[in-house]
Structure 1
């Protein structure tokens, strides 16, 4: 029996790409991001699913609310396993600032062993998201689940199911408001679609 996962990256906040939002509070969708979430939500009406789980961050919850509203779905569950990487003191800093930090450069060069100031490696991140998916697969055999999360969290899951090293996360994109689909079963997992962006 298989379970399908729709891994959805949150819609863009107003300064996406300008700074590392991380787990900073108050990072919400602006007007453009809300419109993007609405388009994504209309696309998700074509899918059948049994549950929506979301990262605790505001931007993911707003995206999940748009999907639930368009699909006539009730409950949304905040799931800490889908949370953004804990970037600690890096959160809120611009990428220009971070590029001058040797620890930031090491994090990007050695994701499997380097730790963020919050204490996570990419393998830690991968362990929590894959563990979450395995638990949900047991609850939704034969069904489908929407997971609204963040780019690196989704990339960690894709790397696991494609048997790529976590450093392979730089070999593909996960854009804001994109859909990546994975089906899992007792035999492992298969990528059905990567980074589908709704125009």
Structure 2
């Protein structure tokens, strides 16, 4: 079973006060570079088979740190840019201050019923969810086996993927928090997805190193009755 590490990009000068959206040319600032270097160092403990990234610069910058750390560890992960995990198409909201957008009637819909939300001149949240979930499930199936792979994307996109993995209706996705350069871990199986970590910004990731194969391994697609001994004990 492959393991997906969902990584949100690091901070930019616009992250927070402005809805950056798909604005081109927005790179990590000094804070974001430090965050990306730190998350790359954490992920370097794992043998990453592939890095899939949104085409926007703040993601390719972050993913580049992860690739560099993998290469420093003697690995050569595949590198793919996938438009399906690009930021939401915020339409005419793009580049506007958040404090202005909170006064727009669409804001309340996005907060309380995102499945009914379409950004002005932009994308519907249901379409964002559909393309992003399709992308990660597609890559997961392609990589297969015990591959560990990274998808570097954006906050709302990652929240939509996690909501799907948790079996939540899209209207519940605002309950999920995804901070800059956080790692969320999903393992897809024939039975269901398992969300192993969410919004992790500092914990050790070595528990996700695949164990050495010793003969026939137990198929770990079913939830362990009683809760099991933890992922590090499988």
- Give the 3-state SS of the residue equivalent to 1:50 in structure 2: strand
Tell me which of the two structures has the higher relative contact order, counting C-alpha pairs closer than 8 angstroms and 6 or more residues apart.
Answer: 1
Of 164, 181, 190, 1:177 maps to: 181
CA contact (8 A) 2:155 2:179 kept: yes
TM-score, normalised to structure 2, is 0.81
Structure 1 residue 126: Cα displacement: 1.3
Of 98, 119, 124, 1:121 maps to: 124
Q: Which residue of 1 aligns with 2:163?
A: 159
Q: Distance in 2 between matches of 1:74 and 1:181?
A: 18
Instruction: Map Cα deviations across residues 32-53 of structure 1 (whole Å, 9 max, x no partner).
Output: 1111111111011111221100
Matched, 1:22 2:21: yes
Structure 1 segments (4+ residues) deviating >3 Å: none
- Give the 3-state SS of the residue equivalent to 2:80 in structure 1: strand
CA contact (8 A) 2:6 2:184 kept: yes
Matched, 1:138 2:141: yes
TM-score, normalised to structure 1, is 0.94
Structure 1 unaligned regions, length at least 5: none
Of 68, 84, 89, 2:87 maps to: 84
- Give the 3-state SS of the residue equivalent to 2:92 in structure 1: helix
Q: Which residue of 2 aligns with 1:150?
A: 154
Q: How many pairs align?
A: 198
- Give the 3-state SS of the residue equivalent to 2:59 in structure 1: helix
Structure 2 unaligned regions, length at least 5: 204-234
- Give the 3-state SS of the residue equivalent to 1:146 in structure 2: strand
Q: Distance in 1 between matches of 2:123 and 2:81?
A: 20
Larger radius of gyration: 2
| RMSD across aligned positions (CA) | 1.4
- Give the 3-state SS of the residue equivalent to 2:115 in structure 1: coil
